[in-house]
Amino acid sequence: MKDKTCTAEEAISEVRDGYSIAINSWGLTGTPAYLLRALRACGAKDLTLYCNNFIPGISALEEIGLANLTGLLPQLKKVVSPFIGGRAFRNVLAEEEDIFEGRVQKGELEIETSSHGIYIERFLAGAMGSGGIYSPIGVDTVIEEGKEKRTIDGIEYVFQKPIRPDIGLVKAHRADRMGNLVYRGTSRASNPVVAMASKITIVEVFDIVETGELDPEMVVTPGIYVDRIVRIPEDDISSESKTNEVLKMIIKRRIEAEAAMSANPPQS
Amino acid sequence: MKERMSEELVAMRAAKELKDGDYCNLGIGIPQLCASFVPETVKVQTENGALGYGPLLSFADMEKLAQQPELIDELMETRDPDLSDAGARAFSPAPGMSFFDLLTSFAMIRSHRLTSILGGLQVSEKGDLAIHSTSDRDPYPQIGGSMDLAWGAKRVIVAMTHTAKDDTPKIVKRLSMPLSASQCVDLIITDLAVIEVTPEGLLLKEVAPDWTAEEVQSLTEATLILADDLKEVEL
């Protein structure tokens, strides 16, 4: 069987201008940070990004090269995400928030949002080749604007289109050479649905084992969904020890920011 | 000005609604604080894919970390980078814990098997909930899992402040903020009162210490029905 392992650059060379890219993004856990950096380096533009949470960057992450969605902003024309913006972290993220809002206001960045459940259902529809789903969530809310509504057996539903990304970037805990994947803890999240729904799926892992070494009962994503496997260098910035350094830095900054806030509260 | 209940007390009162064998999901805001008061026999779900996990590591307690910086190193050593909740806060493992992908997680959230404790911006007298945005003109409303959690729960408890900071009532006749889910709220727990949503209207069941039903009503736009056994908030 063909070996699916390659470098991040080789894998990301599949990306063309105007492509749609799906990732799992939930803080640092299960986010394909290594491939995201390769995506930035490749310079592809006019991309549509599907992600769980689009929190405009954290500069501490940028400094040490971890996943930073603000850094990706110039390459994006559209973001589809159930949770956009970092208003909750306004005191520490004002600058990134302004870059993001500026692009939205100038019409350079299109935003599409929905409920998280709908977002995931749409991936399932994409994976199944369905024409879409009728979801009970969002009836009479902002979500139904411009969408077909239908009553089935007395219950109202809102139509939602499938998501079928050109490229899925996935983070797994371990892969074998056939691309069978196992995950760990909450880093599983939407990685399995991204792998199933995407036309081309690229996986990053620290650990690649020989075929036959994974317990088939434990495989969550079967290798048929995986086109490319990228091994993250052991000393990479997204390794556990490096991540801990970043987190320490973030915590220290938050402590400083909160101290500054309480010494000098904002006028509102 | 009379003192209202602290956020911790509101969270403690809300957690009291959880019974042995319940499964629950805790939303952003005051509900997050409930985690400290949830009994061990109640299993907590997080929408990024875990059920029945252990206590959160105290990353969120910035005050404590500011005073004892050496705790940060200690936290880093105990922290497992693959265990974090939907608010990106690290948690500890617990026996019986399970992990799953987001399809499973949101099917679970909509299964009417979880008790959902949510924050709230406004609740109407019919139990309509506004939680994701203050304005129709919001360029990017932060919906997240809130609509799924409000629609699909076994029971929806809203834990919030009774009024906005300027004393504008948050419990209203009709929502002025964008709807998140209609007629979904079962119980409202605020820093002033415990109010049940019933077919007849909003039933005032408990008031904060030193507060009277009239005072609570004066800070509530919707009309409150007084429960026969109206009492002080029990913690």
- Residue carrying the six token digits 């990053």: A204
Which pLDDT score is estimated for B196? 98
Query: Is the Cβ pair B178, A141 closer than 8 Å?
Result: yes
What are the backbone dihedrals phi and psi of residue A267, each rounded to the nearest 5 degrees, phi first?
-85, 125
Among chain A residues, CA nearest to B90 = A29
Closest by alpha carbon to A258, among A131, A89, A117?
Answer: A89
pLDDT in tens, chain B (235 residues): 789 999 999 999 999 999 999 999 999 889 989 988 999 999 999 999 999 999 888 655 667 777 887 888 887 778 888 999 988 888 999 999 999 999 999 999 999 999 999 999 999 999 999 999 988 888 778 899 999 999 999 999 999 999 999 999 999 999 999 999 999 999 999 999 999 999 999 999 999 999 999 999 999 999 999 999 999 998 8
Domains of chain A listed by start with CATH number: 5-131+164-263 (3.40.1080.10)
3-state secondary structure of A153: coil
Which pLDDT score is estimated for A162? 98
pLDDT of residue A268 exceeding 50: no
- Which residues of B form the catalytic set? 47
Which pLDDT score is estimated for A257? 75
Which pLDDT score is estimated for A91? 47
Which residues are CB-contacts of A65 (< 8 A; sequence separation ≥ 6)? A37, A237
Question: In the numeric block, which tokens belong to residue A163?
Answer: 């998501």
pLDDT of residue A59 exceeding 70: no
Q: How far is CA B201 from CA A141, B17, B51, B223, in A?
A: 23, 20, 34, 8
Which pLDDT score is estimated for B136? 84
Highest mean pLDDT among A83-97, A236-250, B86-100: B86-100
Which among B88, B143, B179 has the least Cβ separation from residue A26? B88
The residue type of A5 is T
**For residues A220 and A153, what is the distance between their CA atoms, to the nearest angstrom?**
35
Place A21 in a pLDDT band, splitting at 50, 70 and 90: very high
Which residues on B lie below 8 Å from A120 (Cβ)? 102-103, 105-106
- Across chain A, mean pLDDT equals 88
Q: Could you please report the per-residue DSSP string of chain B?
A: -PPPPPHHHHHHHHHTT--TT-EEEE-SSHHHHGGGG--TTSEEEETTTEES--PBPGGG-HHHHHH-THHHHHHHHH--TT-B-TTS-BB---TT-EE--HHHHHHHHTTT-EEEEE--SEEETT--EE-S-S-TT-SS---TTHHHHHHH-SEEEEE--SB-TT--BSEESS-SSPPSBTT---EEE-SSEEEEEETTEEEEEEE-TT--HHHHHHT-SSPEEEEEEEEEPP-
Who wins on pLDDT, A80 or B139? A80
pLDDT over 90, % of chain A:
63
Helices vs. strands in chain A: H and E counts, helices first:
8, 16
Which pLDDT score is estimated for B80? 87
Looking at residues A193-202, what average pLDDT do you find? 98
Which pLDDT score is estimated for B29? 86
- Residue carrying the six token digits 């091994």: A231
Which pLDDT score is estimated for A265? 67
Instruction: Report the Cα A179 to chain-centroid distance in Å.
Output: 20
Interface-testing mutation among A23, A50, A108, A116, with chain B (most B C-beta atoms within 10 A): A116
Interface ipTM: 0.93
**For residues B181 and B127, what is the distance between their CA atoms, to the nearest angstrom?**
9
- How far does the CA of residue B230 sit from the closest CA of chain A (Å)? 35
**Dihedral sign (CA A175, A181, A182, A186):** positive
- Over residues A106-128, the pLDDT tens digits come to 889 999 999 999 999 999 999 99
**For residues A106 and B139, what is the distance between their CA atoms, to the nearest angstrom?**
12
Among chain A residues, CA nearest to B179 = A141
**For residues A21 and A33, what is the distance between their CA atoms, to the nearest angstrom?**
14
Which among A113, A120, A186 has the least Cβ separation from residue B141? A113
Helix (H) or strand (E) holding A111: strand A110-112
Closest by alpha carbon to B21, among B33, B35, B39, B34?
Answer: B39
- Residue carrying the six token digits 């620290």: A206
Which pLDDT score is estimated for A266? 58
pLDDT of residue A61 exceeding 60: no
Domains of chain B listed by start with CATH number: 7-51+98-232 (3.40.1080.10), 55-92 (no CATH)
Q: Based on the number of CB atoms within 10 Å of its own CB, is B52 exposed (0-12), middle (13-18) or buried (19 or more)? A: middle
A209: left (phi over 0), alpha (psi -120 to 50) or beta: beta
Which residues on B lie below 8 Å from A141 (Cβ)? 147, 178-181
pLDDT over 70, % of chain A:
89
- Residue carrying the six token digits 């159930």: A82
Interface-testing mutation among B59, B91, B102, with chain A (most A C-beta atoms within 10 A): B102
Who wins on pLDDT, A54 or A66? A54
